[in-house]
């Protein structure tokens, strides 16, 4: 064990010491996409490999080094590892767990566009992510049908131009920040040209997964838009917030963006009061306000992460005794067909 631990540290030191810092695109292209490599790098015994292969066959593994380096070595209970390690339970098919738990396919008036709620729409700005979270409610989303070319974006943009009740555009994905900045700047420019669009919201996990994503090119288009900006990050555990993430958030805030966070309540990751309270405190230290704590969407392959609503409500009630009100996330469930998230 000691030898493997040394090898692990040595490998990471070599990567850290390599001459030129890697760009975020290079880090993304070098992300671990093989369960065997993931198990080897983290010192997980071969008994976990078969399960990891099973889960990987259903939803690809993807973990960049910048995230991997925050995971403890040879610790199957690490809360970050649990979010990214494929397991054999993903092959279970309990009743009620489906491919499209939010029934988004019924709300797509144009390619790349989802319109579920009044006054706001969601644009699938990128079909990929920098990490594949095992509980993702879009793990079966047909991204290949939702990757518009520039010409095809016009249909979605025409839809927005025609509906003056829409005030907010939400860039989503995948992870919208997995798209290149030229494409994103173009899309934001198009949105700015629609007078009734006031706000730009970006739902992203990339500044957490690869903090170097917050580079000059990103900050340039984010700084220059007339739209009010909100970035909603996705962080489930305080261990995800290291100094690089704090620095990335500081750079984002300098553009005048409001930073919020949404988490998912996950069995074995953050399903206790101490962990949730520590997460809220750490978020605030990084300049991020807790926004939502979602209960799990019943997506096929993720049932082992579920926390019952009754337990979730008890946790939130207890959490109130540990946190000031402004650090309390709202416990919600998304119910298909409802006009907003449902508080629990
Ligand atoms: S980053 Fe978000 S969209 Fe991508 S896999 Fe994770 S939860 Fe899903």
pLDDT digits (tens, 9 = 90+) for 223-238: 999 999 999 999 999 9
For the CA of 209, the nearest atom of ligand 1 = 1
Distance 132 CA to ligand 1 centre (A): 6
Give the per-residue pLDDT at 338.
Answer: 85
Q: Which residues contact 250 (CB under 8 A, 6 or more apart)?
A: 287
Distance 321 CA to ligand 1 centre (A): 31
Give the per-residue pLDDT at 4.
Answer: 53
Which residues make up the CATH 3.20.20.70 domain(s) of the chain?
A: 104-343
Give the per-residue pLDDT at 1.
Answer: 44
Contact 236, 266 (CB under 8 A): yes
Distance 315 CA to ligand 1 centre (A): 24
DSSP codes, 308-326: -HHHHHHHHHHHTTTS-GG
- List residues bridging with 121 in a β-sheet: 169
Which position has the token pair 């995971």?
Answer: 71
Give the per-residue pLDDT at 96.
Answer: 94
Distance 127 CA to ligand 1 centre (A): 10
For the CA of 174, the nearest atom of ligand 1 = 3
Give the binding-site residues of ligand 1, using a 6 Å CB cut-off: 129, 131-133, 136, 138, 173-175, 205, 234
12, exposed or middle or buried, with CB in 10 Å at 0-12, 13-18, 19+?
A: middle
CB neighbours (10 Å) of residue 127? 20
Alpha helices in 202-272 (DSSP H): 206-209, 216-224, 243-253
List the beta strands (DSSP E) in 48-205. Answer: 113-114, 120-124, 168-172, 199-204
Dist. CA 280–CA 292, nearest whole Å = 11
- List residues bridging with 98 in a β-sheet: 299
Residue having the nearest C-alpha atom to atom 3 of ligand 1 = 174
CATH fold, domain 104-343, is TIM Barrel (3.20.20)
240, exposed or middle or buried, with CB in 10 Å at 0-12, 13-18, 19+?
A: buried
Give the per-residue pLDDT at 18.
Answer: 55
23 DSSP 8-state letter: P
Distance 172 CA to ligand 1 centre (A): 10
pLDDT tens-digit series, residues 131-173: 999 999 989 887 777 678 888 899 999 999 999 999 999 999 8
User: Best mutation site among 28, 80, 123, 138 for ligand 1, i.e. most ligand atoms within 8 A of its Cβ?
Assistant: 138
Give the per-residue pLDDT at 103.
Answer: 83
Which position has the token pair 């709202």?
Answer: 330
DSSP codes, 252-301: HHTTT-EEEEEEE--TTTT-SHHHHHHHHHHHHHTT-EEEEEEPPP-BTT
User: Best mutation site among 85, 114, 124, 131 for ligand 1, i.e. most ligand atoms within 8 A of its Cβ?
Assistant: 131
Which residues of the chain have a pLDDT value below 50? Answer: 1-3, 6, 13
Distance 234 CA to ligand 1 centre (A): 8
Distance 62 CA to ligand 1 centre (A): 11
Give the per-residue pLDDT at 2.
Answer: 42
Helices 181-192 and 150-162 pack at an angle, to 10 degrees, of: 30
Distance 136 CA to ligand 1 centre (A): 5
Of 322, 258, 318, which is closest to residue 289 (Cα–Cα)? 258
For the CA of 172, the nearest atom of ligand 1 = 3
């Amino acid at each position: 064990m000691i030898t493997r631990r040394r090898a692990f540290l040595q490998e990471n030191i070599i990567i850290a010491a390599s001459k030129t810092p890697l760009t975020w695109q290079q880090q993304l292209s070098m992300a671990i996409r093989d369960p065997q490599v993931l198990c080897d790098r983290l010192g997980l015994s071969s008994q976990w490999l078969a399960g990891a292969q099973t889960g990987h066959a259903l939803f690809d593994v993807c973990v960049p080094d910048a995230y991997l380096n925050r995971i403890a070595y040879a610790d199957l209970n690490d809360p970050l590892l649990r979010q990214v390690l494929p397991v054999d339970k993903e092959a279970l098919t309990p009743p009620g767990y489906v491919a499209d738990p939010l029934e988004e396919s019924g709300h797509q008036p144009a390619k790349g566009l989802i319109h579920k709620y009044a006054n706001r729409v969601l644009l699938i700005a990128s079909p990929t992510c920098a990490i594949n979270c095992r509980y993702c409610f879009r793990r079966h989303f047909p991204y290949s049908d939702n990757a518009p070319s520039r010409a095809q974006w016009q249909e979605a943009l025409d839809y927005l131009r025609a509906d003056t009740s829409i005030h907010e555009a939400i860039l989503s994905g995948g992870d919208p920040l997995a798209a290149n900045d030229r494409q994103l700047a173009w899309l934001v420019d198009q949105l700015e040209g629609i007078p009734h669009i006031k706000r730009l919201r970006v739902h992203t996990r990339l500044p957490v997964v690869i903090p170097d994503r917050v580079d000059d090119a990103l900050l340039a288009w984010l700084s220059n838009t007339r739209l009010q900006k909100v970035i909603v990050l996705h962080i489930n555990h305080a261990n995800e917030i290291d100094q690089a993430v704090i620095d990335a958030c500081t750079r984002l805030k300098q553009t005048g963006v409001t930073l919020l966070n949404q988490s998912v309540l996950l069995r074995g990751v953050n399903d206790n009061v101490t962990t949730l309270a520590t997460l809220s405190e750490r978020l605030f230290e990084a300049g991020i306000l807790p926004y939502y704590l979602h209960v799990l969407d019943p997506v096929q392959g993720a049932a082992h992460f579920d926390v019952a609503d009754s337990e979730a409500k008890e946790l939130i009630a207890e959490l109130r005794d540990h946190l000031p009100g402004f650090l309390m996330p709202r416990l919600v469930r998304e119910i298909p067909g409802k006009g907003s998230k449902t508080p629990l």
